[in-house]
Structure 1
């Protein structure tokens, strides 16, 4: 394999690894760290029932069949045949004035075997095996993407459900604020502007509630399709909300060398390089002579019985050397084409390795940053809740208006929704890290 990213392969940690990560070996079933049995069941169903993975498995079957067909070149070829013919020859062919007319019956068995003297068949077998390995790695890569998409969609669903619960409370607060503003307007203590502002806030909250409900339904249907079911099959998830997912305090990520071994897309590119290299070797071998051994056994004569009479046995053994020295440059052109394909495969391999490392480092950077963002969102929510509590007490004591206390409660709800959103983003970043590490496919074993 071409030497790619030698520094990364030697490092014991990622450059952008945040404090909340560890260089210990991560688990293939990484989603289990989120501690949600429903999610575990959904991922298992996706890995066993997804049409995407079924198609990938079918490509593996095709590649195995192609390997078996290629390996058949190492075995002898045999044919059995029987024939009956009516022969009529003029006297000119028999030195006789009369016309010869005969019936001939024969059966024969022939076998041939090509000696793989220069390794052409062996190299083609290597190429077929490498492509089968690439198909298996491609299926693993599909499993990585699928498991990550299931977790990400499920996490978004739970965040949306948590938002929906808080939005219901916000709608209730906005209605109370509108009632309060309307009463004060009737008393002449506030202008119509306060009423209009309250109406606008209520309308926006009701709109947000409707949008969130639609989002929940869409996400549930997306999950259903991901596990190979029809839309609507997971409506129970819509009817029974659950808390958002929580990322573990410490995430095992391993090291760059492990990533280079684990990511299936790198394995795909690596096997494609090996297959292209084997193709070059096969085309080089095609320039040399081919040695074939052929044997024929036959029985025959002018009657049906002669076709089964050992006395009429005919045997022929024939070694053959064939060297295609003049083909208009076709063999040379095919070899040149194979070398070009090899250069292309090597370039793609290098690009895949570098993209994988960049993906991992970028995912870790975003994950570390979002950890901080979530902590700040939690601080903001705590401050808003503390302030809301104080404002309620002041309103009860008569030193603050009820409207100001309600607005403080609303602000605390908004801060809570912001914290939930930050937690959802952190979960998505966690999923991106695990996907970048190439985890998830071993769950199929």
Structure 2
């Protein structure tokens, strides 16, 4: 009876000790608590209320912004890049790694429990005793447990840091998705632009060849001089020199596009034939720039998560100055015969606290707090710099698209006028009313204006892709990828 009551008291004492430990573990955390910087709210876009050509300020869904170009090939390329891009796969792996590490850190709040079983054969020495001690076998089975009580919040601060780092990897993927989608679109627009410029150059070479033949026939008839033939040959040959550089740049962009899709070179060749014009956006594009757009950008959110993590590490370093309290215990059975392992009287247990404190390296610990605190300041400066860069990118993209829309209209008028001048000058030359130099100048101007117009079309679409990238268009896709 007395033995039963003693066991009951021991059990109650253990429960009381456990409850005290839980209460202690909920104590305040040392170190600074994170406070969201007001910098992102204080920084405002200076051009957000302005009027921009081709942009309509109204609510718009920019998650799948590339669909406004109504180009099935572009849609296919971006979807494939999201699925197969190597950088995206690496970022996904980093998320899984960080999520697992977050789980490891959280598990430190729980007791560590190990099971053990052993068998040992031994014999005590009988030297000098005159007593014959026979050999014996020791059997034991038990459970060992240890639990660090988070008195000062070191473990909870570590969890804060680990969770913030995990969230930062998610934002890194979000930012990468934005960049990959925009880069694929940019490469596609550049490819279509270069294909058009190659076609224009070939067309001009054919036209100049006809003019060269006409000059040669006029010289054979004694109507024109050899100078005109040489001038025509010079223009014709000069235009031919443009093709190699255009084709080289076209090939480089096609190969880069294959790389962005996670595929070997040549993979997209069939997708890019037959040739097509650069897809242009609608005349009026709906753009919504909410006041909190800066904080919605994943690079800003990533910088903030890293700041949260580093702030928590200051608390982890501060907690090292304080004593560490742990509970340890073991419960098991032991006997000299395996049949007696679970018999009455074979049980054994131990339970108690352990306190550990750094005594002789406290200066090092204080220096480590300074290290972590300075890193937190650096993380704050990085956050502020990221916000400023975000403002710069958005404003630059808005102005660039606005000005490009204006320029494209002028380029269109210029290339139409250049074609009219070219046609009229050829007619006048055949009639002998103007000098051949006028025709040559018209040829060069027409080629230049047509190429500039195609470049302007491509830049219009490229600058809109840059604007969507700056506004964090498309980044919500990452949640579907992770899940």
TM-score (norm 2): 0.84
Task: Tell me how far apart the structure 2 counterparts of residues 333 and 97 of structure 1 sit (CA, whole Å).
Answer: 62
In the alignment, structure 1 segments of 5+ residues that lack a partner are: none
Runs of 5+ unmatched residues, structure 2: 1-35
Could you tell me which residue of structure 2 aligns to residue 387 of structure 1?
A: 421
Q: Is the 8 A contact 2:169 2:302 kept in 1?
A: yes
State whether residues 235 and 440 of structure 2, in contact with CA within 8 Å, keep that contact through their aligned partners in structure 1.
no
Match of 2:310 in 1: 276
1:53 — aligned with what?
88
Partner residue in 2 for 1:422 = 456
The verdict on how the C-alpha distance between 1:5 and 1:107 changes in structure 2, with shifts beyond 3 A counting, is closer
Q: Number of residues paired by the alignment?
A: 442
CA distance in 1, matches of 2:56, 2:292: 13
2:77 aligns with one of 42, 62, 72: 42
Provide Cα deviations, 1:197-219, integer angstroms capped at 9, x if missing partner. 21121122222234333333332
Specify which of 195, 213, 217 is matched with residue 229 of structure 2.
Answer: 195
CA distance in 2, matches of 1:24, 1:16: 13
Q: Which residue of 1 aligns with 2:389?
A: 355
> Secondary structure of 1:211's match?
helix
Give the equivalent residue in structure 2 for 1:100. Answer: 133
3-state DSSP class of the match of 1:124?
helix
The 3 A distance-change label for structure 1 pair 304 and 443 is closer
Q: Residue 345 of structure 2: SS of its match in structure 1?
A: helix
Q: How does 1:15-34 map to 2 (within 5 A)?
A: 18-26=52-60, 27-34=62-69
* Bigger mean CA deviation after superposition, 135-144 or 18-27: 18-27
C-alpha separation in 2, matches of 1:370 and 1:316: 79
Contact 1:90 1:98 in 2 (8 A): no
- The two structures have a TM-score, normalised by structure 1, of 0.91
Structure 2 residue 242 is the aligned partner of structure 1 residue 208 = yes
Distance of 1:331 and 1:163 partners within structure 2: 65
Residue 437, structure 1, aligned to residue 471, structure 2:
yes
Contact 1:173-1:406 at 8 Å conserved across structures: no
Q: Where does residue 63 of structure 1 map in the other structure?
A: 98
How far 1:312 sits from its partner (Å)?
A: 0.7
CA distance in 2, matches of 1:429, 1:327: 57
**1:34-92 deviation line (CA, Å, top 9, x unaligned):** 12111011001001110110000000011001001101111111111122233433458
Partner residue of 2:162 out of 107, 128, 131: 128
State yes or no: 1:4 paired with 2:39.
yes
- Give the 5 Å matches for 1:329-344: 329-344=363-378
| Distance of 1:272 and 1:191 partners within structure 2 | 75
Cα pair 2:174 2:477 within 8 Å, conserved: no
